[in-house]
Amino acid sequence: MAVRVDRRAVLAAAGALLAGASTSCTGGSVPARGPATDLLEGRDWAHFAGAVPTRAGVRITRLDRRITRQDGSGGQPNPPVNLRGPHLVFRGDLRIEALLTRPAGTDAYLHLYGETPVVYDEWRQERRGARIGVAGGRIRFDRWDGDSDRPAVTRAFGRDFGDEVRLAVEVRGSRLVLEADGKAVGSVPGRDVFGRGRIWFGADAQGDGDGWTLGGLRAMPLGRGRMSVQDAPALEVPRSTDALRDLAADLDRPIRIGTALAAGPLLTDSDYRETAGEEFSLLTPENDFKPQFVQPRRGVFAFQEGDSLVDFAAANDMQVHAHTLVWFEALPSWMRAEMTHADRRRVMTEHIRAVAGHFRGRVAEWDVVNEPMSDEDEDYTNDNLGLRPHLWFEAMGERYIDIAFRTAREADPHAVLYLNEYGVEEDGPRWDALHALLIRLMERGVPIDGVGFQNHEYAPGDRTDPEVFRRKVRALARLGLKARVSEMDVLVGVGEEDVQARQFAGKLAVCREEPNCTSFSTWGFTDRYGSTADIRHYPPSPGDALPWDASYEAKPAYWALRDALSRSDSGRR
């Protein structure tokens, strides 16, 4: 259901003001303006994170979204992009006009993305784009050139701008010309920033206050320029009958074949979208459901990217395996701040109630607790019983797991609830401690339904024997628990395609054969957006870890997965 901006309201609030702006600046060298297209009226701003369409325009909530560092400190800003809204396709020169209304002390920014950023949860690849806004009474401009997180150009113009500012940006030849309240305020070099002839929009609020209002937004070609507006693509993609998901559905005991997906590429890259919908029957949100995205400020929720993934699943008859409610990573800074144990517990249960409640009935499964086991030997010999002594454990002890599952069950009674962990596919103290934990949870009547085995293989030492994994799956069956392969990727070097293919297929075969294994999911499917990319460089170089390469060519791993689903020796229909 696309909630669109109300036509009359926006026209009443902003039309006249912007029309005034667009005729007030004339002069010999000013190119003629073509017809203006309204970018709010009738366009989708309801799926833009933090945005609320109102009578006065689009209200931009201050989200303070950041890519938090592992130590919980600040991190790179991560303002949202309106990927399901309108974007411009143009040639030659063009003019964009916006009306920004803000309370004193709130800084209001409009982002113009020549290329949309790629967002991981530990890193955001800022590609080419510009930002213009009003901050501290001045007009601020930044330009990113796609070679760094930081802007290549930062400028400030004028002073004493009021609460309501009419901004305009013109792409004119090789320069960007900036205008505020009908007067030119400056010009900066920068045509290349929009060299692909596309502009997506984003907005961000900073400083004090809860946000500001985008009262109008429109664009028009200049001189001999050409411009059109495109809305987001349809989410439903064509289906074949012979993809991985079909092979898995045709088994005597059907299972689901899944992958982790991200809203960014899903809405901007048609190859990604089509392959995802065609091949997979289950999706895990790679990052878009994590706390730093959905609750960036305490009590301020932004579910829009997550909702887009859920909509995509519904449009393509896929299920959603939601990921994740309680983890020690991907937390917004405020969640890691010092607080009392009672408050920490409240933060956890409120987060679970709000997030699982929001997606209730629309997702099939949840990773309720992610990665509870410790990486430190000492935690296996002391009182921690192998559990990671993170902030949730510190506040509640092992019972944080009980509380999390009970709260999730209440919030979404029909979802299948999982604990998800890495490094437990093999024998050793980590598995032993997890197994003992599961027995304690079952004895206490904790509503846990299954365990996800991540199966990340980042290095040769991570490779595990499918038969050892099979014993783990069977041990869960004896406890009455389901199992799944939840996040498999196999990072390999040059010439190791067969190793990769064997690893993927071996685990899938086990899942197919063991009656309590419900699904097999890879952690992404194309190296173009794989989470093993080498991010020390800018832009990152893709890792070789997934069944499709960075150009969407299927690798031997893909054919091996098909083979593991097609072999008749363990009972296809």
Q: Does position 78 bind ligand XIL by CB under 6 A? A: no
Q: Does position 563 bind ligand XIL by CB under 6 A? A: no
Q: Cβ 542 to ligand XIL, closest distance in Å? A: 13
Among 6, 122, 250, 398, binds ligand XIL (CB under 6 A): 122
Two structure tokens written together for 543: 């890792």
Q: What value, to the nearest 5°, has the Cα angle with vertex 545 and ends 542 and 549? A: 60
Contact 401, 390 (CB under 8 A): no
Amino acid letter, residue 492: V
Among 93, 126, 288, 487, binds ligand XIL (CB under 6 A): 487
Structure-derived torsion over alpha carbons of residues 190, 194, 196, 201, reported in degrees to the nearest 10: 160
Q: Which range binds ligand XIL by CB under 6 A, 115-123, 215-223, 346-354, 497-505?
A: 115-123
Binding residues with ligand XIL: total (CB under 6 A):
10
Q: State the catalytic residue, choosing from 286, 305, 371, 514.
A: 371
Q: Does position 68 bind ligand XIL by CB under 6 A? A: no
Torsion angles phi and psi, residue 178, rounded to 5 = -110, 140
Q: Does position 212 bind ligand XIL by CB under 6 A? A: no
Cα–Cα distance measured from residue 163 to residue 186, given in angstroms and rounded to the nearest whole number: 20
Matching residue, tokens 């498999």: 488
Return the residues of window 439-458 that contact ligand XIL according to CB under 6 A: 454
Cα–Cα distance measured from residue 209 to residue 289, given in angstroms and rounded to the nearest whole number: 25
- 371 classed as catalytic: yes
Two structure tokens written together for 491: 């990072």
Q: Does position 521 bind ligand XIL by CB under 6 A? A: no
When the beta carbons of 417 and 565 are compared against ligand XIL, the nearer one is: 417
Q: State the catalytic residue, choosing from 279, 286, 457, 487.
A: 487
H or E, element range at 175: strand 175-180
Q: Does position 287 bind ligand XIL by CB under 6 A? A: yes
- Residue 110: CB partners within 8 Å, gap ≥ 6? 98, 100, 131, 132, 133, 167, 201, 202, 203, 214, 217
Chain residue whose CB lies nearest ligand XIL:
531
Task: Compose the 403-442 pattern: x for residues touching ligand XIL by CB under 6 A, - for all others.
Answer: ----------------------------------------
In angstroms and rounded to an integer, the radius of gyration of the C-alpha atoms of the chain is 25
In 3D space, the residue among 244, 231, 411 whose CA is nearest the CA of residue 318 turns out to be: 244
- 41 classed as catalytic: no
Among 370, 503, 519, 526, binds ligand XIL (CB under 6 A): 370
Two structure tokens written together for 119: 């967002």
When the beta carbons of 225 and 423 are compared against ligand XIL, the nearer one is: 423
- Residue 527: CB partners within 8 Å, gap ≥ 6? 533, 542, 543, 544, 545, 546, 548, 549, 550
Q: Cβ 356 to ligand XIL, closest distance in Å? A: 17
When the beta carbons of 123 and 334 are compared against ligand XIL, the nearer one is: 123
Among 179, 286, 514, 527, binds ligand XIL (CB under 6 A): 286
When the beta carbons of 286 and 305 are compared against ligand XIL, the nearer one is: 286
In 3D space, the residue among 47, 114, 37, 85 whose CA is nearest the CA of residue 231 turns out to be: 85
Pairing of strands 482-490, 517-522: parallel
Q: Verify cis geometry, omega within 30 degrees of 0, for the bond prior to 324.
A: yes
Return the residues of window 125-154 that contact ligand XIL according to CB under 6 A: none
Q: Cβ 131 to ligand XIL, closest distance in Å? A: 24
Q: Cβ 111 to ligand XIL, closest distance in Å? A: 21
Q: Does position 101 bind ligand XIL by CB under 6 A? A: no
Q: Does position 365 bind ligand XIL by CB under 6 A? A: no
Q: Does position 531 bind ligand XIL by CB under 6 A? A: yes
Which residues are bridge partners to 139 per DSSP? 134, 157
Interacting residues with ligand XIL (CB under 6 A)? 120-123, 286-287, 370, 454, 487, 531
Enumerate the active-site residues.
Answer: 371, 487
